[in-house]
Amino acid sequence: MLPIEKFSVGVGDRFAHQARAQLRACMLAGENGVTVVPVWNKSNREHNIVGSEPESVRAAADAAVAELGWKHSYYVDADHINLGTVDRFLSASDFYTLDVADSIGKPASPGDVDAFVARHRELSGTLQIAGIEQPLVITPDFMRAIACKYLFAVQEAGQIYRHVAGRKGADRFVTEVSMDETDVPQTPPELLIILAAIADEQIPIQTIAPKFTGRFNKGVDYAGDVAKFETEFSADLAVIACAVTRYDLPRNLKLSVHSGSDKFSIYGPMRRTLRKFDAGVHLKTAGTTWLEELIGLAEAGGEGLDLAKYVYAKAYADREALCAPYASVIDIDAARLPSPETVRGWTAPQYTSALRHDRTNPGFSPDVRQLLHVGYKVAAKLGDQYLDMLDRCEESISRNVTENLFERHIRPMFLD
């Protein structure tokens, strides 16, 4: 396997224009004493919408690293891929997010379930795990039920991993298993059983993305019980430490937090817990960069502001179609969305106040932010018109991208 560093941040870039600005934020982390490596990620769905190829992500990352003289590792993520989409990413990517959430609940063969339960009798009973106050109680019936729910998905992850390894070589990429885009969170006992199954598949997993308690909506803060999340996050780290030892998984295995951008209320609890366990984390901040592009366009004024207003108007008109693929990770109250006519009359500060994630600003609108988060398809349809404006407004855009990633994400997550 290709070992990834302790701290990494997923930096999505819909239009492959902000790699330098994102890398500057990682360099600021280094100047403040912490190495945080970038993982540029873009999903197959995003490539299809924008009309790009994975090679464009690699080219932008390589160019930024060369220009800024970055001395550490960096990665390009084949984000949320499966067997049907992975081949498109083989030449450009060295980080693979194996997304098997859609296979959760599909039954493995009864024989495979029986064999798993028989093979892992050590999981049945009362387990005292270092770092968890209350012991985990796993009955044989519970273990069988969890195997029935997750074993097929893990087997699918094994197929994807072996497919990539057979074509790239097992030592040339990082493997993540993603189970976050599902309806029900995985509990710590479930995570332990899942990790045992992953070990059986001989997947050298370095990051795992479970679904946590609470709502991880796109581009806005965590919605849920923060204390409960902290307890769960701590227990998950304890389970990972146990599984690494028990099942000989990679020692740098860490949690991956998807839709992790702007989850300000849980960064402190996560940071404290990571330090308690001396653990690493992968924090995905993908779509927040696209929103900073819109903020930079608006700040530039003139035609940049006009274009930002146009994107809002089209997103508002097409909101049902734009929101449908993201229904499980957005909560928009349409009644609170300003009309395009209202937005058309906004000044640059009014537009940026509504969109920038500053909860102390009375003009901030989580509904506007979430709608525009999923509205990048509007900009994609503009093609060169949008890309040319990014170049013309590069100063204000790059400044906002760097400041947002470093000050609102990296600093509170890794430094404060």
Same domain assignment for residues 237 and 332: no
Q: What is the pLDDT at residue 287? A: 78
Same domain (yes/no): 337, 276: no
Which helix (H) or strand (E) segment is 14 a member of? none
Is residue 268 located within the same domain as residue 388?
A: no
Side chain identity at residue 288, one-letter code: T
Which residue's structure tokens are 């803060």?
A: 221
The pLDDT value given to residue 92: 98
What stretches of 169-187 show up as alpha helix (H) in DSSP? none
**Cβ neighbourhood burial of 121 (10 Å; 0-12, 13-18, 19+):** exposed
195: which residues sit within 8 A by CB, 6+ positions away?
Answer: 205, 208, 239, 240, 243, 247, 249
User: Of all helices (H) and strands (E), which one includes residue 283?
Assistant: strand 281-284
- Domain count for the chain: 2
Token pair 């993603």 is at which residue? 178
Same domain flag for 143 and 266: yes
Give the start-end residues of each E strand in 27-142. Answer: 37-43, 75-81, 95-99, 125-127, 136-138
Give domain status of residue 197, yes or no. Answer: yes
Residue 193 contacts residue 178 (beta carbons within 8 Å): no
Closest CA to 51 of 358, 376, 304: 376
Residue 295 lies in a domain: no
Per-residue pLDDT of the chain (416 residues; tens, 9 = 90+): 999 999 999 998 999 999 999 999 999 999 999 999 999 999 999 999 999 999 999 999 999 999 999 999 999 999 999 999 999 999 999 999 999 999 999 999 999 999 999 999 999 999 999 999 999 999 999 999 999 999 999 999 999 999 999 999 999 999 999 998 888 999 999 999 999 999 999 999 999 999 999 999 999 999 999 999 999 999 999 999 999 999 999 999 999 999 899 999 999 999 999 999 999 999 999 779 999 999 999 999 999 999 999 999 999 999 999 999 888 889 999 999 999 999 999 999 999 999 999 999 999 999 999 999 999 999 999 999 999 999 999 999 999 999 999 999 999 999 99
Residue labelled with tokens 């991956």 = 256
User: What is the predicted pLDDT for the residue at 183?
Assistant: 83
**Same domain flag for 104 and 228:** yes
The answer as to whether 307 is a domain residue is yes
pLDDT at 328: 84
Closest alpha carbon to 218 in 349, 322, 342, 336: 322
Pair (240, 337) in one structural domain? no
- In total, the chain counts a number of residues equal to 416
C-alpha of 379 from chain center: 22
The reply to whether 294 falls in a domain is: no
Domain that holds residue 311: 301-396
- Collapsing DSSP to helix, strand or coil, 76 comes out as strand
